[in-house]
Amino acid sequence: MASECAALTSSVTLNTGFEMPVLGLGTYKAKGVDVRNAVKWAIEAGYRHIDTASIYRNEEDIAEAIRDSRVARESLFITSKVSPYQQGYEKARKALQESLTRLGTDYLDLYLVHWPGASSVPVTSERNVHLRHETWRAMEEAFREGRCRSIGVSNFLRTHLEELLSASSVVPAVNQIEVHPYLTQEGLREFCASKGIRVEAYSPLGCGELLSDATVVRLAHKFGRTPAQVLLRWGLQTNLIVIPKSVTKERIEENARVFDFDFELEGEDVASLLALNKNERFCWSPEGVR
């Protein structure tokens, strides 16, 4: 078990120089005892990367589980996000401090702009661009102050990234987007790589829809693994950071075993999963956000 836990610290180096574990625990829609148990079980299984957001309303529960785990803060990688309701310079500064307080820490390893648009602003409005700039300015300051070791974005398309890069001094370290074999996002991923931006995949299991896909099931049988492990392994082998969400102990432990030393997809297997792409989203689409 010790070797498995050690493997869960497998990481990539961000453009800030900090290491980010490539497997994390997603916590969307998990609250109360569910998220406290999920974080507890994840840490026991060797996870050191926890992903949350202010809009999830579970940061205090996550903080409690982390305190109970007795794992040193510096051993953990904690991500949170500024919500669409908190965009703008002053609001973003306040949002960060509130997240830090709820999480019981004086810094975040990664802080993301959760969505390219702002709440109560029409998606086609130029005001979205202005608020993104102001939000990013606040995050750049927090980065320089050391309150955020790395900063990044989520759900940004290439157009959003190009616009942000043209008006900022800090390149986002991460773009967290929906990625799985039905939505491979190869063009966006190539653009991010060209700018030194790591891509982090949420919903890497396609909200569960891909678990019964014939190709995924065939590969699971081929390797004696579960469909979830095949999908996560595909993500890791295509240079993604993956954050599967679960509140079930068995599934959290199952996902951790994606690092077993004898488990690696072959080139033709990776290609067969890439071929499943049909640009199908199971979550939100940022298309149309100015």
User: Which listed residue (47, 56, 111, 202) is catalytic?
Assistant: 56
**What tokens does 60 get?**
């205090």
User: Residues annotated as binding site?
Assistant: 114
User: Residues annotated as binding site for substrate?
Assistant: 114
Cα–chain center distance at 119: 21
Active site residue 56: yes
Residue spans of alpha helices (H) in the chain: 2-7, 32-45, 59-69, 89-103, 127-145, 158-166, 186-194, 214-223, 227-237, 249-256, 267-274
- Do 21 and 48 touch, CB atoms closer than 8 A? yes
Look at strands 198-202 and 241-242 and give their pairing.
parallel
Query: Phi and psi (nearest 5°) for 282?
Result: -110, -10
Cα within 13 Å of Cα(52), Cβ side: 26
Distance CA 153, CA 286 (A): 12
Long-range contacts of residues 41-46, Cβ cutoff 8 Å, at least 24 apart: 41/249, 41/252, 41/253, 42/252, 42/256, 43/69, 43/71, 44/69, 45/4, 45/5, 45/8, 45/252, 45/253, 45/256, 46/4, 46/5, 46/6, 46/7, 46/8, 46/9, 46/256
Distance CA 172, CA 7 (A): 27
* Radius of gyration of the chain measured on its C-alpha atoms: 18
Catalytic residue IDs: 56
